[in-house]
Structure 1
Amino acid sequence: MKATPHPADATPRPVEADQVFADIAELLARLLEDEYGLDDVEIGMATTFNRDLELESIDLVTLSGLLEERYGGRVNFAEFLAGMEFDEIIGLTVGQLVAHVVTSLKAAEAS
């Protein structure tokens, strides 16, 4: 799966959870394909980063960079993770990340 670039300075579109999910699923697919050669992984809102996708901490750093590339400074994944306990990070789902991104983007729009 080849990703389409989304410049951070593009005109913001209304924040929709389904679009954010699609963006994150695309970023994860790109990460999994680039790092592990996996291109057919099913990703849903309940998919966990640790158990289901078997991402390691370095992969979360890479994901943070991809989120920064996509959303600019409007979404701070590292700060989001820093507010969690270890067990919460281990159980983190795609849906939780989608909710965080939606909240962050709406807050940035309101500023």
Structure 2
Amino acid sequence: MDTVVVLKQFITEVIGEEFVEEMDIDMNSSFTRDLEMDSIEIVSFSEKIKAHYGDQIDFTGWLSNMDLDQLINLNLGMIVEYIDNARN
């Protein structure tokens, strides 16, 4: 399944379908500004990535190497790129 589709499903599960219906999630969608995800929601999202991709993707480790500005500006496209590169 396409990485974007998988991640959009995870976002929907974490923040709720009613909230997602009101927005257009694309590759530039910021997790903090556009999706307004808090740290607990991002942790839940991260756990879904780990459960889906297993040890093949070290999403938590990748995030831990970012500074605060990078985390604040994290968008869907950055995560898709990371996962696709890590899987190849």
TM > 0.5: yes
- Output the amino acid matched with 1:31: V
Question: How far is 1:38 from its partner?
Answer: 2.1
Which 5+ residue runs of structure 2 have no aligned equivalent? none
Q: Name the TM-score, length of structure 2 as normaliser.
A: 0.90
Query: Where in structure 2 are the equivalents of 1:16-95 lying within 5 Å?
Result: 19-33=2-16, 37-40=18-21, 41-95=23-77
Displacement of 1:79 in angstroms is 0.6
Query: How many residues align structurally?
Result: 87
**1:89 to partner: Cα distance:** 0.2
Structure 1 unaligned spans of 5+ = 1-12, 14-18, 107-111
In the alignment, does 2:87 pair up with 1:105? yes
Percent identity of paired positions between Structure 1 and Structure 2: 24
Stretches (4+) displaced over 4 A? none
Distance of 2:79 and 2:20 partners within structure 1: 21
1:33-90 alpha-carbon deviations (Å, 9 max, x no partner): 17xx524132100000000001111111101110011111111111111111100000
Letter in 2 for 1:78: T
